[in-house]
Amino acid sequence: MAMTADGKITTANRAVAAFSSARDRAHLLALRATADAVMAGARTVDLHPINLGPGPKRYRARRLRSNLAEYNLRIVVSGSGSLDPDAEIFRHRFSPILILTTRRVPAAKLRRLRALADEVRVCGDTEIDFRRALRWLHRKWHVRRLVCEGGGELNAALFAARLVRELHLTVCPSVFGGRTAPTIADGLGCQRLADAARLVLKSRRRVGGELFLVYGSGARNPGGSQVHRLSTQRARSQSTSLRRFK
71-112, pLDDT tens digit by residue? Answer: 999 999 999 999 999 999 999 999 999 999 999 999 999 999
204 pairs with which residues across the strands? 213
Asked whether residue 221 carries a pLDDT value surpassing 70, the answer given is: no
Q: What percent of the chain has pLDDT over 90?
A: 80
User: Higher-confidence residue: 64 or 236?
Assistant: 64
Query: What type of residue is 239?
Result: S
| Selected residue with higher pLDDT from 239 and 1 | 1
Helix (H, G, I), strand (E, B) or coil at 54: coil
| Distance in angstroms (rounded) separating the CA atoms of residues 149 and 232 | 7
Other Cβ atoms less than 10 A from the Cβ of 59: the count is 18
Q: How confident is the model at residue 219 (pLDDT cuts 50, 70, 90)?
A: low
Residues forming beta bridges with residue 201, ordered by sequence position = 215
218 pLDDT band, cuts 50/70/90, is confident
Model confidence, pTM: 0.87
Cβ distance 108 to 129 under 8 Å?
no
The yes or no reply on domain 2-233 and CATH 3.40.430.10 is yes
Which pLDDT belongs to residue 163?
95
Strands 37-41 and 2-4: unpaired
If you average pLDDT over residues 186-205, what whole number do you get? Answer: 91
